Structure 1
Amino acid sequence: MGAQKKRAAAATAAARVSEDPDDLARQPLQAILLADSFTTKFRPITLERPKVLLPLVNVPMINYTLAWLEAAGVAEVFVFCCAHSKQVIDYLENSEWFSQPNFTVKTIESHNIISAGDALRLIYEQNVIHGDFVLISGDTVSNMLLTQALQEHKERKKKDNNAVMTMIIKKSKPSPITHQSRLGTDELFMAIDPNTKQLLYYEDKADHSKGTICLDKMLLAENPSISLHNDKQDCYIDICSPEVLSLFTDNFDYQHLRRHFVKGLLLDDIMGYKIFTHEIHSSYAARIDNYRSYDIVSKDIIQRWTYPYVPDVKFCGNRATKLERRGMYRASEIEQSRSAQVGSFTVIGCGTKIGSNSKISDSVIGEGCTIGSNVLIEGSYLWDNVIIEDGCELRHVIVCDGVIMKAGAVLKPGVVLSFKVVIGERFVVPAYSKVSLLQQPTVHDSDEELEYADNSSGTVEFSSIQGTADQSNGEMTSESSEAHKPKLGTGGVGYIWSICEGGQEEEWRHSVAPIPEDKLAELSEAMDDDQELVTQDRTALSTSGELISDSNASEGDDNEDSKDDSVYFEKEVEATFLRAVEENVKVDHVILEVNSLRLSYNMTSADCAGAVFYSMMKLAVKTPHSSASELQQNTANIITTWQKLLKSYLLEIDEEIEIILKFEEMCLESAKEFSPLFARILHILYDKDILQEDAILRWADEKEGADESDKVFVRQSEKFVQWLREASEEED
């Protein structure tokens, strides 16, 4: 489109709102909520139910988004519905959202829209947006305050009419191993002006050739300094001026909000529109883009990072459950056998029954579920009215409403069972399988298609077997050919979808299951090279050609965020360790979980060693004791039991020294009870072969030039250190 036509369209958009900034400030804040993600990542589930109505810790996703918009001061929300629009509209009309004071929810429906760009063009034509608005999708969870970001947006707009959008971002830890973030999304590269916070470059992709990206020379020439980041998370919350809608109308090639619209604006040098960023630090914001982010956000909700949107607080669309010990939530109306064990970080919904000797941990169980005896459920999500018969095993899976698992059936990690599937007796569903009553589409569509299958278009073809099987004996009626019998064991009903060619990696990258051990080992071998590449990318550039460390460009913020990440990581490791102690989890399984956390937070072996050691020592303090000698005995017992876990992260002398430094820190701050026992416990760590004499002697040598205040524990350990030196000399 020509520049003149673009300017005319922009003028038209500007005419729709008052030119007086004060009048603009008085406009009630509006929001556009996209109830369709326009992707297929949650298939086969979203062939039957829209993504925004899928339960997230037993609450439809859209309720978290609407609850936050209401709390953030939004007065009017337009919910755009396309995929399964009738389900979304019926749900909202029968919910509390249509009766909230000072908060209006309106729906806009269309059956011909295939992208976010099309949706925004339609909303523009309806002339319902009259000022600045929040653009968000219905799969976003946040508790941030909008006040500061909104004020920054308005102030910029007063000074520069081209400042049309503010993008909310948050510091993230992309894994250099998997080229993905903690939420399972592709690694994101951003170039931001460190002074103005203007976004200058945006690129997300899973595979960067040799860890490099290409920046236009003009970008470097026109900007005094640029900070290049690969550690930012796009929260997909945008504050937009009304001109944004007109830009979509003028550019029909804008389909995707990021790949097309954001990049288009960054490359358009005719109109000069600008996008700015607002980074949040202590607040929470995340979008559920795939099954892995579904798992991560669920855990964040259970661990209360999203407060007040947590299971024990009443907000629209949830039944508050009672918070019990260490993140375990149970509704009051459940039936649980005395011999059943419900572990930490687990939510049990109303009306659920749990049989004898069953074990449930790190899981969310919906309403009205029936769980038999001797059932093992770990790291899984069971929705409503699920029936699990005796002796079944479920690890890191998603099970939708109405599913039946017959006795002895097993779900391997990463399995997704769609609605009303039946798994036959003792049948083992392979890892990462997706099972549905609907056959897999015979024509593969792109990721840009709608969530649901549109039979009229002919782009997606499938058939349903619902009602064609006798669930009592598993035999198919004559309506289904022999070739299409579900292969799910005796009494099984459903189809196992095949993994598309080249999709194996996507399965484990985006799954609710931890990264497999073989993949972990394979990727860890390449960690050092990848880490070097990431370090090279995280630089700030100036037009003089000088490369400036990114940490220097915003040293205060980075230090604060790194500290937050370390604290967050340490808490998760401690929670994992305590659950392992309580439920007698095997050491090898704990190592796998800690390794998964290590990848999620991009931590080193030393970080893992420090976090594990901290967790062990905190447990020793919490274990009842009435004297220093009893505390010492507690510590010795815990070290003996869990020494294999700790040793797995002590690969070098440096990691061992990190343990000693961590112990010093604890003795001075968080666990002062250990102060008089420092030398004795140091000796225990040596006796158990956790610390080598070289590590202890190097630690003592490094303290030689320190202040006296830093030598407290070296002085306390003098006899032991001297004994080690003499023993070493005798060996020589």
Structure 2
Amino acid sequence: MGAQRKGASRVSDDHEELARVSLQAVLLADSFTTKFRPITLERPKVLLPLVNVPMINYTLSWLESAGVEEVFVFCCANSKQVIDYLENSEWVSLPDFAVRTIESHNSISAGDALRLIYERNVIHGDFVLITGDTISNMSLTQALQEHKERKKKDSNAVMTMVVKRSKPSPITHQSRLGTDELFMAIDHNTKQLVYYEDKVDYAKGIIHLDKSLIMDNSSISLHNDMQDCYIDICSPEVLSLFTDNFDYQHLRRHFVKGLLLDDIMGYKIYTYEICSSYAARIDNYRSYDTVSKDIIQRWTYPLVPDVKFFGNSTYKLERQGMYRASEILQARSAQVGPFTVIGDNSKIGDNTKITNSIIGHGCSIGSNVKIEGSYIWDNVTIEDGCKLSHAIVCDGVVIKSGAELEPGVILSFKVVVGDQFTVPSYSKVSLFEQPTNQDSDEELEYADNSSGIVEFADTTDKSNSALMSKSLEMQGWPASELGKGGLGYVWSICEGSVEEEWRHSVAPIPADKLEKVLHKAPDDEVELTQDANVLPPSGELKSDSYISDGDDNESSRDDSIHFEKEVEATFLRAVHENIEVANVILEVNSLRLSFNKVASDCAGAIFYSLMNFALDSSRGSSGELLKNTTSIITKWKKLLKYYLTDLDEEIEVILKFEEICLESAKEFTPHFTKILWHLYDQEIIQEEAILKWDAEKKEADDSDKLFVKQAEKFIEWLKVASEEEEEEEEE
């Protein structure tokens, strides 16, 4: 069965209308972009596996659990595959949840899709508008209630957009750089959206806002820390607005901006902010990587591998986020690391090492293979001695002995990589030739001949694929291009899209690129034209006198907590993905700019992250806690030392250690002196800092001298050693 139904039953008796009216949804099964080429030439994006489950199943599972009773799935590119999949799935047999398909071969935008739905006259009330690449576990009840109450008071309130703040989430700059910079202006009191810009020019640091917008709205909040979740609650008028305006093609750049700029009709868009719930859209390979990791790390619960919902197998959750299907063959000497998923009927050979990767169903992986940060789909064959790093490998691919995939490689369906061949970084390889007439990213993967875009055949059929492979051989495809026995076309990187290759890749952004972007696009301030003041990334337009000291202190505390969470998320990702210290420092520095912090704040947050990680990995054993802590400090001392440039910063780390022992992790209390000695022994904290900390505690209350007294013998030893050293120098 599907995910447990929650939404409809939670509607209160005070809102009988919610219970009485059947809630509908429009699911766009095409994103109307080409960002997933060459893969989407052969399979629609919504059917691509996301942690071994077709992407659309996550969206449908959420809609069903949120109380939606009827979903219209709009199919365009490769529509036959989507329709066949749904008709043969369990979705068609669910009670009280109808999934119906609407097919079009002429629509080339979301606007065209919504105009066709309006013509079909199938929507009879408020509906949820969503794309089939959106993953969420939020409850719709409150958002629906607010939307309907606003509509009763103001018939022009036609749409509610779901948004989420970026700061409290585990998303770091690596994943943010994969999406367009987004800037919103929201009325703090009413939640009305008054400005939306999704292609901000942060290189210049300027946002152009009409001065009257600020003057007419005294409670506007400005945000560049918001994510657009692409979940919209719409009134039926939205469909008619698309029909009345044929220039509306894109949901955001045309429709949303058009309504915000239209002073005549007066239609309004509002926002609904989610806090603890999850919502994200997969709009490129980097967000595919980010959301996959979020699923494995259980941010999307209950849509996780070990909870049964449509399309997934039975997985068992093991230590450190590792999931194994029940039917796999793994050699004893093979190593499967944390945050890895192994699908049904897959085989793993001797001395093979797999970390932070997802292996699909029916894969055959040979001996002495290394796979890191990669996505291996179904029925893939990887022969002995291969190396794969941060790559996507589609169904039926064969990688022959000793071959290597460098970071960012995409191998589309049934490609063959020859013996000992190295596929260069960011290469895209397909059995299809690269289209010579490149269509824009606002158009479909195919269209009719009048558009000038080539329509590609459906290659899911085995005979089709065999014919295509034979065709490639007949064309005399040079074996040297993909090594001996290789098969496939290597697509060239289009002019002007070089930057997109590393921005949108599943591979970590190279250190030099990340540093360049972060220096180019500071996000700690935004300049507003029309004589407006310089503002922080998110905050109300209030005078300084309006903010009380109490509010300021509370905001500062919240900011510090968010900063620590972001640093900890960055550190944990570095641990699990083997990210180099230099790259971690770049990310922490960018967070430092974002939150306006100093080096001592970074040192404290990093030390807190190290200690938390040590505690989590010690399984309650006191002896193991000390051993793990000293080991982790030794391994990451270069990262910590980077932010300890003077004695005051070293003292801040000691004070942070005291705070941890007293508040968040009292398990460290009996080990305080030994860990302090280890910090000294590793030359992370100097003896001068420890002696100065001791001196500053002389006038403190006894309650504040707990750890000084505990470390008394160690401190005395340091003093004696220091005196002896001074005497030797004098002699």
Shorter chain as denominator, the TM-score bin is 0.7 to 0.9
Q: How does 1:639-658 map to 2 (within 5 A)?
A: 639-650=633-644, 656-658=650-652
Which moved further from structure 2: 120-129 or 200-209? 200-209
Which moved further from structure 2: 186-195 or 681-690? 681-690
Deviation (angstroms), 1:573? 3.0
Paired position in structure 2 for 1:185: 179
User: Cα–Cα, structure 1 residues 562 and 442, in superposed 2: closer, same or farther, change >3 Å?
Assistant: farther
Q: How does 1:297-696 map to 2 (within 5 A)?
A: 297-452=291-446, 457-460=451-454, 467=466, 477=473, 479-480=474-475, 487-523=481-517, 531-533=524-526, 536-538=535-537, 540=539, 542=541, 563=561, 566-567=564-565, 570=568, 573-574=571-572, 576-577=574-575, 579=576, 589=580, 592=583, 609-610=603-604, 612-614=606-608, 616-617=610-611, 623=618, 635-650=629-644, 656-693=650-687, 695-696=689-690
Give yes or no for the alignment of 1:122 onto 2:116.
Answer: yes
Deviation (angstroms), 1:439? 1.1
Q: Distance in 1 between matches of 2:609 and 2:120?
A: 57
SS at match of 1:335: strand
Q: Distance in 2 between matches of 1:675 and 1:130?
A: 63
Which moved further from structure 2: 315-324 or 460-469? 460-469
8 Å contact kept, 1:443–1:461: no
8 Å contact kept, 1:67–1:315: yes
2:271 alignment partner, one of 265, 277, 292: 277
Q: Distance in 1 between matches of 2:496 and 2:659?
A: 48
SS at match of 1:49: coil
Paired position in structure 2 for 1:87: 81
8 Å contact kept, 2:175–2:286: no
User: Cα–Cα, structure 1 residues 461 and 67, in superposed 2: closer, same or farther, change >3 Å?
Assistant: closer
Deviation (angstroms), 1:559? 6.4
Give yes or no for the alignment of 1:51 onto 2:45.
Answer: yes
Q: In the alignment, residue 386 of structure 2 is paired with which amino acid?
A: C
SS at match of 1:317: coil
8 Å contact kept, 2:205–2:525: no
SS at match of 1:166: strand
User: Cα–Cα, structure 1 residues 561 and 424, in superposed 2: closer, same or farther, change >3 Å?
Assistant: farther
Deviation (angstroms), 1:508? 1.0
Give yes or no for the alignment of 1:155 onto 2:162.
Answer: no
Note the alpha carbon deviations across 1:127-147, whole angstroms, 9 max, x for none.
111111000000000000111
User: Cα–Cα, structure 1 residues 187 and 242, in superposed 2: closer, same or farther, change >3 Å?
Assistant: same
Deviation (angstroms), 1:429? 0.6
Unpaired runs of at least 5, structure 2: 1-14, 528-533
Paired position in structure 1 for 2:55: 61
Note the alpha carbon deviations across 1:232-261, whole angstroms, 9 max, x for none.
000000011111111111111111000011
User: Cα–Cα, structure 1 residues 461 and 100, in superposed 2: closer, same or farther, change >3 Å?
Assistant: closer
Q: In the alignment, residue 445 of structure 1 is paired with which amino acid?
A: D
8 Å contact kept, 1:574–1:611: no
Q: Distance in 2 between matches of 1:139 and 1:424?
A: 33
8 Å contact kept, 2:567–2:606: no
Deviation (angstroms), 1:500? 1.3
Deviation (angstroms), 1:226? 1.1
8 Å contact kept, 2:128–2:233: yes
Deviation (angstroms), 1:360? 0.5
Q: In the alignment, residue 276 of structure 2 is paired with which amino acid?
A: S
8 Å contact kept, 1:29–1:76: yes
Q: In the alignment, residue 683 of structure 1 is paired with which amino acid?
A: W
8 Å contact kept, 1:31–1:133: yes
Which moved further from structure 2: 375-384 or 221-230? 221-230
Which moved further from structure 2: 259-268 or 213-222? 213-222
Q: Distance in 1 between matches of 2:60 and 2:392?
A: 25
SS at match of 1:88: helix
User: Cα–Cα, structure 1 residues 448 and 370, in superposed 2: closer, same or farther, change >3 Å?
Assistant: same
Q: Percent identity, please.
A: 67
Paired position in structure 1 for 2:135: 141
Q: TM-score, normalised by structure 1?
A: 0.86
Q: Distance in 1 between matches of 2:582 and 2:629?
A: 20
Deviation (angstroms), 1:211? 1.1
Deviation (angstroms), 1:286? 0.3
User: Cα–Cα, structure 1 residues 93 and 436, in superposed 2: closer, same or farther, change >3 Å?
Assistant: same
Paired position in structure 2 for 1:713: 707
Deviation (angstroms), 1:75? 0.6
User: Cα–Cα, structure 1 residues 411 and 156, in superposed 2: closer, same or farther, change >3 Å?
Assistant: same
SS at match of 1:168: strand
User: Cα–Cα, structure 1 residues 470 and 448, in superposed 2: closer, same or farther, change >3 Å?
Assistant: closer
Q: In the alignment, residue 125 of structure 2 is paired with which amino acid?
A: G
Q: Distance in 2 between matches of 1:404 and 1:548?
A: 65
Deviation (angstroms), 1:571? 5.4
CA RMSD of aligned residues (A): 3.7
Q: Distance in 2 between matches of 1:224 and 1:721?
A: 57
Q: Distance in 1 between matches of 2:695 and 2:514?
A: 36
2:220 alignment partner, one of 226, 229, 251: 226
Note the alpha carbon deviations across 1:149-171, whole angstroms, 9 max, x for none.
11111111111111111110001
Note the alpha carbon deviations across 1:34-93, whole angstroms, 9 max, x for none.
000000110110111110000000000100000000000001100000111100000000
Q: Distance in 2 between matches of 1:206 and 1:694?
A: 48
Q: In the alignment, residue 366 of structure 2 is paired with which amino acid?
A: G
Note the alpha carbon deviations across 1:545-570, whole angstroms, 9 max, x for none.
87988999999799668746744652
Give yes or no for the alignment of 1:213 onto 2:207.
Answer: yes
Q: Distance in 2 between matches of 1:139 and 1:167?
A: 16
Note the alpha carbon deviations across 1:371-427, whole angstroms, 9 max, x for none.
000000000000000000000000111000000000000000011111110011111
Q: Distance in 1 between matches of 2:216 and 2:187?
A: 11
Deviation (angstroms), 1:225? 2.0
Q: In the alignment, residue 538 of structure 1 is paired with which amino acid?
A: P
Q: Would you say how many aligned residue pairs link Structure 1 and Structure 2?
A: 696
8 Å contact kept, 1:174–1:231: no
Q: Distance in 2 between matches of 1:182 and 1:288?
A: 12
SS at match of 1:684: helix
8 Å contact kept, 1:440–1:462: no
Deviation (angstroms), 1:198? 0.7
2:27 alignment partner, one of 23, 27, 33: 33
SS at match of 1:674: helix
Q: How does 1:255-274 map to 2 (within 5 A)?
A: 255-274=249-268
Unpaired runs of at least 5, structure 1: 1-20
SS at match of 1:487: helix
Q: Distance in 1 between matches of 2:558 and 2:718?
A: 39
Q: Distance in 2 between matches of 1:52 and 1:686?
A: 54
User: Cα–Cα, structure 1 residues 40 and 677, in superposed 2: closer, same or farther, change >3 Å?
Assistant: same
User: Cα–Cα, structure 1 residues 167 and 530, in superposed 2: closer, same or farther, change >3 Å?
Assistant: closer
8 Å contact kept, 1:327–1:344: yes
SS at match of 1:210: coil
SS at match of 1:501: coil
Which moved further from structure 2: 428-437 or 667-676? 667-676
